Structure 1
């Protein structure tokens, strides 16, 4: 992963962004020697957000199963038929 100082980002933002779009490699921005932020390509960021949403929904489903909050096929079909009328 590429690491850049915040001062370098300020001076060379256009160049760093162009390289980011080309390489698709995230850039770690540091301030005073400490990690401060990541620069990531917009499409990569949106993909990560979609993936996170899917994983969160899977976790909710697993939790519901573990808590016994499930429906049989016929119960689910009955509930859905009320919504689809």
Structure 2
């Protein structure tokens, strides 16, 4: 992963962004020697957000199973048939 100082970002934003788009490698921005932010390509960010949404849905489903909030296949099919008309 590439690391850049915040002052470098201020001075060379266009070059840093061009490198980011070409390499698709995230850039860690540091401020006073400490991590401050990540720069990521827009497509990569959107992909990560979609993946996170899927994982959150899976986690909700697992919690529902653990809590006993389940529906039989036949009941689910009946409920879905209303939506599919």
TM-score over 0.5 (shorter chain): yes
Query: What band does the TM-score fall into relative to the shorter chain?
Result: over 0.9
Quote how far apart the aligned CAs of 1:81 are.
Answer: 2.1
Aligned alpha-carbon RMSD (Å)? 0.9
Describe the SS at the equivalent of 1:70. Answer: coil
**1:5 aligns to what?**
5
Describe the SS at the equivalent of 2:71. Answer: coil
Quote how far apart the aligned CAs of 1:77 are.
Answer: 1.1
Structure 1: runs of 5 or more not aligned? none
Quote how far apart the aligned CAs of 1:80 are.
Answer: 1.5
**2:25 aligns to what?**
25
Quote how far apart the aligned CAs of 1:72 are.
Answer: 0.7
Structure 2: runs of 5 or more not aligned? none
Normalising by structure 1, we get a TM-score of 0.95
Q: List aligned pairs for 1:45-64, cutoff 5 A.
A: 45-64=45-64
Task: List, as ranges, runs of 4+ consecutive aligned residues in structure 1 with deviation greater than 6 Å.
Answer: none
Query: In structure 2, how many angstroms separate the alpha carbons of the residues matched to 1:71 and 1:15?
Result: 54
Normalising by structure 2, we get a TM-score of 0.95
Q: How many corresponding residue pairs?
A: 85
Q: List aligned pairs for 1:65-84, cutoff 5 A.
A: 65-84=65-84
Quote how far apart the aligned CAs of 1:57 are.
Answer: 0.2
